[in-house]
Chains A and B, each alone.
Chain A
Amino acid sequence: MALLLKNARVVDPAVGLDAVCDIVIRDGLIAEIGTDLRIAKGETVECAEKVVLPGLADIHTHLREPGREDEESVHTGTRAAAHGGYTAICAMPNTEPVADEGSSVRFLRERGEAEGAVRVYPLGAITAKQEGRALAEIGDMVAEGAVALSDDGHGVQSAGMMRLAMDYVKRFGVPVVSHCEDEALVGKGVVNEGVVSTRLGLSGWPAAGEEVQVARDIRLCELTGCRLHLAHLSTAGSVELVRRAKAAGLPVTCEVTPHHLFLTEDDLTESYDTNLKMNPPLRTAEDAAALLAGLLDGTVDCIATDHAPHAPHEKALEFELAPFGTTGLETALSLVITHLVATKKADWAQVAQWMSIGPRAALALPVVRIEVGALADLTIVDPEAKVEVGAEWFVSKSRNSAFLGQKLLGKASDVLVGGYFALRNGKVVV
């Protein structure tokens, strides 16, 4: 069975490709790339006006399985990922129970293989139960397929514990993914400390609460030599710390989220919209501008969603009681197109870099390239598609999106995973 993608603009900066051409896919692999290609039998898909990118990867997804299948599952979360244009996602280990030993990681990997619409790469915890007190069974988890280790959801509070973990992890070659949050500084903070915390009478979560751990972990990266990936950076100060670390040649990478790029604390009003409550919180316009500048100059490696589904009855609580997080898998690409591509602040090669090549490199996921012989994991984008982000539009089990009600431009129309459609003409087909 062959598949022919006709007349697409194919963009993959990793192989220096940006041209209108055809792609033939056979047996799940890219068989030919060129112009005026034909296939004897099989299916031809007209892709004029569309853009083909190497399959997007989200390295920061909360699938909620096991434990909170009412909010999301491997089944629904991977379908939401396909809907948003992703061919692979990395599942964070803060499930119930926490994935802190090999069998939990194996469970998720096998669930991903059995149920997943896209590829699922599990992470394991750094510390047992993510409590920050003792090492999790790190080698056991890596042996079962954990691509990285993270206590995401919490910062590792003790510098000594983090140093021990990074010293131990480096023997396994995977990165530590750090959620930077100094609890002594953050306290009960729920919004950025500053104008909005003052105006709304909410406890502040200061930028320094993130930056002191970013600085600490960069220093520990230097001390231990362990690869460090910094999750969901939200402040100008954090980006500057990474810029200096990279200049010093340290093995440090980092990600930013669409909500920290495209929303600010000024979006929080007297309506106390809990869909805008996230951790780290929405920051200032200056911070958002610094995150974008970091992407543009290469300091920031990638965009990751921190897709955090929550049950409606929990998000309907008082702002201070509602859980942190917004969903993100289904809106990330459209937001990037709307805010960066359509405005000519970025081109398609940069989108491929930030959403496919960069994230895969950060966590050393299998490489996906648009070249002959490569696995056909492809994202086909309709740059002119119009998206209205309504509650019914989501494929995810949860609707707690910070972007509800927005009108966006551009969307993945098709997603191929190993040569098979996961998304076809905008509809999830697996």
Chain B
Amino acid sequence: MLSSRHILGMDDLSTEDITRILDTAESFAAVNERRIKKLPTLRGLTVVNLFLEPSTRTRTSFEIAAKRLSADGINFTASASATVKGESLRDTAATLAAMSCDLVIIRHKYAGAPRMLTEMMDCSIVNGGDGIHQHPTQALLDLYTMKQRLGHLEGLRVGIVGDIAHSRVAGSLIPALLKVGAIPVVIAPPTLLPARPDVLGAEVSWDLDEVLPTLDVAYMLRIQMERADGMPFPSLREYARFYGMNSARLAAMKPSAIVMHPGPMNRGVEISADVADSDRSLVLEQVESGVAVRMAVMYLLLGGADSGAAA
């Protein structure tokens, strides 16, 4: 059990909750190694993926997690949904509530949308990414991945590099790192920092090269190249020159240090191809961890109170 029925943001989770999720994920990861990966744990329960913004990776990850726990997973996506016909989110939520689901994962373009669902529905709600606010399961799988590779979380210096101002990944990862005793450092040009980075509790730097040797993890955020209204830096080339991860920068890091990325990557922009494919890059491990961590989240929200023996 967790201390909250919902996971809307990292504030809903205590440090103990995080530990419980990561430990549970570890046992599910073992299941994911088997040839038959399915458990009967959530049989008969309905999990809705309410994805009102395009997403393949996160939706697929939740979908696989639900299936591996034998839940009935339903996809309610933007193109197929009524929302494109002008139905409000509240009406969509009321409609889903009337169909009695047990868990809704919502991805939406606007901050605070998961909270609206909790006002309309009795079931558990998991935030699958809301606007530029939070994306808590991404942060949880990132913690899990770091812990698997580096053995511990406390005291790790994690540099988060890129568009901090518009990143829901950073919005959850920063508080998540703080809760487990790690040290987040946000690294970006001033135009990609939020108005008051100090309130996030992270160290702030404009200079990647200066910070790099002190980091245990370089977490590269995706640069949104499709942004239309005035790029916040002169060119992708210039961005890569100052903030891109490449082999020279990797060499400047501690030998044990790792590189992470929430995907999808822009090779040659925030991360060079050789680093992305190196054994210091944990990009695919993150994807793999995603399934186990989301299984753990679903299991702890819906299922087993104290059985713990997930596997």
A contacts, CB < 8 Å to B: 187, 193-195, 197-204, 206, 270-272, 313, 316-321
The answer on a CB contact under 8 Å between B131 and A313 is no
Inside 8 A of B133's CB, which chain A residues have their CB? Answer: 200-202
Nearest-neighbor residue (CB-CB) of A201 within chain B? B133
* A197-B195 in contact given A270-B8, A316-B88, A316-B90 (Cβ < 8 Å): yes
* A271-B90 in contact given A194-B196, A320-B131 (Cβ < 8 Å): no
* A202-B111 in contact given A270-B8, A316-B90, A317-B88 (Cβ < 8 Å): yes
23 CB-based A-B contacts, threshold 8 Å: A194-B196, A195-B195, A195-B199, A197-B195, A198-B199, A199-B199, A200-B133, A201-B131, A201-B132, A201-B171, A204-B194, A204-B195, A270-B112, A272-B112, A272-B115, A272-B116, A316-B90, A318-B89, A318-B111, A318-B112, A319-B110, A320-B110, A320-B131
The answer on a CB contact under 8 Å between A319 and B196 is no
Nearest-neighbor residue (CB-CB) of B167 within chain A? A201
The answer on a CB contact under 8 Å between B115 and A270 is yes
Closest Cβ of chain A to B147, distance in Å, is 26
Inside 8 A of B130's CB, which chain A residues have their CB? Answer: 201
* A270-B194 in contact given A198-B199, A319-B111 (Cβ < 8 Å): no
The answer on a CB contact under 8 Å between A318 and B113 is yes
Closest Cβ of chain A to B53, distance in Å, is 12
Nearest-neighbor residue (CB-CB) of A272 within chain B? B112
The answer on a CB contact under 8 Å between B110 and A318 is yes
CA distance A201 to B134 in the complex (A): 8
CA distance A214 to B9 in the complex (A): 38
* A198-B200 in contact given A206-B195, A313-B88, A318-B116 (Cβ < 8 Å): yes
Nearest-neighbor residue (CB-CB) of B131 within chain A? A201
B contacts, CB < 8 Å to A: 8-9, 11, 88-90, 108, 110-113, 115-116, 130-134, 168, 171, 194-197, 199-200, 229
CA distance A5 to B134 in the complex (A): 60
Query: When A and B form their complex, which 3 residue pairs have the shortest distance between CB atoms, in order from nearest?
Result: A201-B133, A272-B112, A318-B110
Closest Cβ of chain A to B57, distance in Å, is 20
Closest Cβ of chain A to B195, distance in Å, is 4
Inside 8 A of A198's CB, which chain B residues have their CB? Answer: 194-197, 199-200
Inside 8 A of A204's CB, which chain B residues have their CB? Answer: 194-195
Nearest-neighbor residue (CB-CB) of A199 within chain B? B199
Inside 8 A of A272's CB, which chain B residues have their CB? Answer: 111-112, 115-116
Nearest-neighbor residue (CB-CB) of B90 within chain A? A316
* A195-B196 in contact given A200-B133, A318-B116 (Cβ < 8 Å): yes
CA distance A203 to B111 in the complex (A): 10
Closest Cβ of chain B to A398, distance in Å, is 18
Nearest-neighbor residue (CB-CB) of A190 within chain B? B111
CA distance A270 to B134 in the complex (A): 11
CA distance A320 to B89 in the complex (A): 13
Per DSSP, are chain A's interface residues mostly helix, strand or loop, or mixed?
loop
Nearest-neighbor residue (CB-CB) of B89 within chain A? A318
Inside 8 A of B197's CB, which chain A residues have their CB? Answer: 198
CA distance A265 to B116 in the complex (A): 20
Inside 8 A of B89's CB, which chain A residues have their CB? Answer: 317-318
CA distance A182 to B197 in the complex (A): 24
Nearest-neighbor residue (CB-CB) of B165 within chain A? A198
Closest Cβ of chain B to A355, distance in Å, is 34
CA distance A187 to B9 in the complex (A): 26
CA distance A320 to B109 in the complex (A): 9
Nearest-neighbor residue (CB-CB) of B108 within chain A? A318
Nearest-neighbor residue (CB-CB) of B130 within chain A? A201
Nearest-neighbor residue (CB-CB) of B196 within chain A? A198
Inside 8 A of A195's CB, which chain B residues have their CB? Answer: 195-196, 199
Closest Cβ of chain A to B303, distance in Å, is 27
CA distance A203 to B199 in the complex (A): 16
Closest Cβ of chain A to B229, distance in Å, is 8
Nearest-neighbor residue (CB-CB) of B110 within chain A? A318
CA distance A314 to B89 in the complex (A): 11
Nearest-neighbor residue (CB-CB) of A184 within chain B? B230
CA distance A202 to B109 in the complex (A): 11
* A200-B195 in contact given A313-B88, A317-B88 (Cβ < 8 Å): no
Nearest-neighbor residue (CB-CB) of B133 within chain A? A201
Closest Cβ of chain A to B111, distance in Å, is 4
The answer on a CB contact under 8 Å between A319 and B112 is yes
The answer on a CB contact under 8 Å between B112 and A200 is yes
| 17 additional A-B residue pairs with CB within 8 Å, beyond A194-B195, A195-B195, A197-B195 | A187-B229, A198-B200, A200-B111, A200-B112, A200-B133, A201-B130, A201-B131, A201-B171, A204-B195, A270-B8, A270-B9, A313-B88, A318-B110, A318-B112, A319-B111, A319-B112, A321-B110
Inside 8 A of B11's CB, which chain A residues have their CB? Answer: 270
Inside 8 A of A313's CB, which chain B residues have their CB? Answer: 88
CA distance A272 to B11 in the complex (A): 15
CA distance A202 to B165 in the complex (A): 10
Inside 8 A of A270's CB, which chain B residues have their CB? Answer: 8-9, 11, 112, 115
Closest Cβ of chain B to A309, distance in Å, is 19
CA distance A313 to B108 in the complex (A): 19
Closest Cβ of chain A to B58, distance in Å, is 17
CA distance A358 to B238 in the complex (A): 55
CA distance A318 to B90 in the complex (A): 9
Closest Cβ of chain A to B51, distance in Å, is 15
Identify which of A194, A198, A202, A272 gathers the most chain B CB atoms within 10 Å of its CB: A198
Nearest-neighbor residue (CB-CB) of B197 within chain A? A198
Inside 8 A of A320's CB, which chain B residues have their CB? Answer: 110-111, 131
CA distance A203 to B116 in the complex (A): 19
